[in-house]
Amino acid sequence: MLTLDVFIRQENILLYKKLLADPKISDGQRDVIGKLLAEEEAKLLNTFSQQGQAKKTSLQPEDPA
């Protein structure tokens, strides 16, 4: 299931990539957009890793002790 957070992060990533492709932006703008892109990608990866960890722990059998 695609959560709202994942959707928003994916849309932000697409927007930042589109902005970076614009040859008219300044170097300063390019640096800021590049940092924002890196942050969104890191957050997206973190979200996926947290979801993966939650699935792993929910599938592990409970300790009877």
The mean pLDDT values, 10 residues at a time, for the chain of 65 residues are 86 98 97 98 90 64 56
Q: Give dist(CA 46, CA 50) in Å, integer.
A: 6
At 24 the pLDDT is 97
Copy the structure tokens of residue 60.
Answer: 């592990």
Q: Within its chain, how far is the Cα of 56 from the centroid? A: 20
Contact at 8 Å (CB) between 51 and 2?
no
At 48 the pLDDT is 84
At 51 the pLDDT is 73
> For the chain, how many residues are written?
65
